[in-house]
Structures are given as structure tokens and as C-alpha cells.
């Protein structure tokens, strides 16, 4: 697997330098000071190559003159993730039907920014963790605990039994501004087209919605997720202050 772009490679070096097998840098590429220093400190071999080699490796995507070749992403055991979540009364993000890799990457980026404890991704009917997802996350993916489960509904029922509150982000629910969030919690999000599976909505403690004030009555799933996570993080901070 490859990671391309200055910021994704920077975040990779900050969080998981041991994953890197080698770093390829196009000749005459200018690197920011912090990135340059982290590369110097990394034990992985650094190879300077012609730009066209990076073009070929990345499929001519915006690699910015640097590519890291890494071992596959390591996923957490979902049961370990649950233990940590309960002990710290934190927030879990559950992905349902999000098949666009750009959206998934943006969602992961927001999850990291707002301090989400971990992200659950379904094994089927979802975008996988690809180079595009890593790039869209701007490297945030390397700071998060990720887990893949075969059946999202069964997983949700399991964590409900463990005392984790389930909130689904879907139109027609309670105004998110008026919701009192209980922790630990899991926020479930779905795609713009399919939304969240009806069976999951039925098993949720509460369905929450973001109020709309303009003429357009919907948000991109990544934008909606960012707003919801911001609200939840504020509620979480109020509990600790």
C-alpha cells in the first residue's frame, strides 16, 4: 500500500514510522522542515527517484513529490475497542453504507479532529481503506483506532448490551441541539443515498438530526458527520469540566 502527499506522509511518520518499508522522494522536491527531520529520524530507506516514477506509482495523483510504501493498515480487535470505550466513557463512530472513498477519508479526518475513540467500518457494502481514503483523511487515519466488523447490526446489539448508547444521524430525528447525550456512545452515520439501515434505526436509542435553515435540505455525509461530532465533543467536554 502507498501513502502519497506531504501531509499524509508527515502524519504517518508522527504516528507509525514502524509501518514504513521505504520512502520515495522525487528529485528536486522541497520538503517542509518538520517532514524532512522526521524522514531523517526514520529507519526506513529513503530513495530519490525521477518524478515520473511517482506518477506511475500513484496513478498520476497529487503525490507532491513524496510517497511512502507501507505495510497494510492494522485493525483493532472490536472487543478491545469496546473495552477502551467503556472504561473512558468515550465516542465510537460507526459507518453504515458509505461507499465513496473520498467521503470516508473526510469522515475519518473529522473523527480524529474531534477526538473520536475509534471507527467501525463494515466488511461489506462500504469503501475499504485505500490510498484514496488515506489521502482524503490527510493522514488522520494513522492516529485512529479502526476496526472492521462483518455485521454492523449484530455489533450494535452487542455494544448496547454492554451499556453503550446508540445515536443514529438521520433526517427526521430529534434536533441535535436539544439532545442530551449519554456516554459512552456510538454515533451511526449512513450514506446520502441509502441512509442508515432501518433495522439499525430501530435498534438505536435515539435518532438525531441537524436542523436546516436554507433552501437546500441536505448536507454531504462528511459535513453532517463533522457537525454531529462537534456537538458530541462539546457535550463530552461539559461532563469533564
Nearest one of 157, 162, 159, 171 to 200, comparing CA atoms: 157
CA distance 97 to 121: 9
Output the pLDDT for position 176: 97
Output the pLDDT for position 162: 94
Q: Which domains does the chain have, with CATH numbers?
A: 2-70 (3.30.1330.30), 78-240 (3.40.1280.10)
Contact 122, 96 (CB under 8 A): yes
pLDDT, tens digit, for every residue of 167-211?
999 999 999 999 999 999 999 999 877 889 999 999 999 999 999
Nearest one of 98, 215, 79 to 147, comparing CA atoms: 79
> Residues of the chain whose pLDDT is less than 50?
none
Output the pLDDT for position 192: 73
Output the pLDDT for position 191: 82
> Which residues, in sequence order, are CB contacts of 87 under 8 Å at separation 6+?
none
Three cell numbers written together for 205? 436509542
CA quadruple 128, 230, 82, 108: dihedral, nearest 10: 20
Contact 141, 172 (CB under 8 A): no
Output the pLDDT for position 241: 65
In this prediction the pTM is 0.87
Amino acid at each position: 500500500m502507498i501513502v502519497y502527499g506531504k501531509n499524509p506522509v508527515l502524519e504517518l511518520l508522527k504516528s507509525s514510522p514502524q509501518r514504513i518499508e521505504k520512502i520515495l522522494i522525487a528529485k528536486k522536491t522541497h520538503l517542509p522542515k518538520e517532514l524532512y527531520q522526521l524522514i531523517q529520524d526514520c529507519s526506513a530507506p529513503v530513495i530519490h527517484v525521477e518524478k515520473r516514477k511517482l506518477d506511475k506509482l500513484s496513478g498520476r495523483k497529487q503525490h507532491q513529490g513524496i510517497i511512502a510504501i507501507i505495510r497494510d493498515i492494522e485493525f483493532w480487535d472490536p472487543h478491545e475497542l469496546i473495552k477502551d470505550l467503556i472504561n473512558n466513557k468515550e465516542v465510537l463512530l460507526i459507518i453504515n453504507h458509505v461507499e465513496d472513498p473520498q467521503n470516508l477519508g473526510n469522515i475519518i479526518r473529522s473523527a480524529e479532529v474531534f477526538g473520536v475513540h475509534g471507527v467501525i467500518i463494515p466488511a461489506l457494502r462500504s469503501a475499504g481503506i485505500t490510498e484514496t481514503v488515506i489521502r482524503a483523511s490527510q493522514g488522520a487515519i494513522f492516529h485512529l483506532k479502526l476496526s472492521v466488523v462483518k455485521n454492523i447490526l449484530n455489533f450494535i446489539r452487542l455494544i448496547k448490551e454492554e451499556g453503550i448508547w446508540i445515536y443514529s444521524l438521520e433526517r427526521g430525528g430529534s434536533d441535535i441541539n436539544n439532545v442530551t447525550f449519554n456516554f459512552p456512545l456510538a454515533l451511526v452515520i449512513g450514506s446520502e443515498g441509502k441512509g442508515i439501515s432501518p433495522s439499525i434505526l430501530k435498534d438505536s436509542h435515539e435518532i438525531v438530526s441537524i436542523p436546516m435553515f436554507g433552501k437546500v435540505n441536505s448536507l454531504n455525509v462528511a459535513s453532517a458527520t463533522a457537525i454531529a461530532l462537534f456537538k458530541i465533543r462539546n457535550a463530552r467536554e461539559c461532563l469533564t469540566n
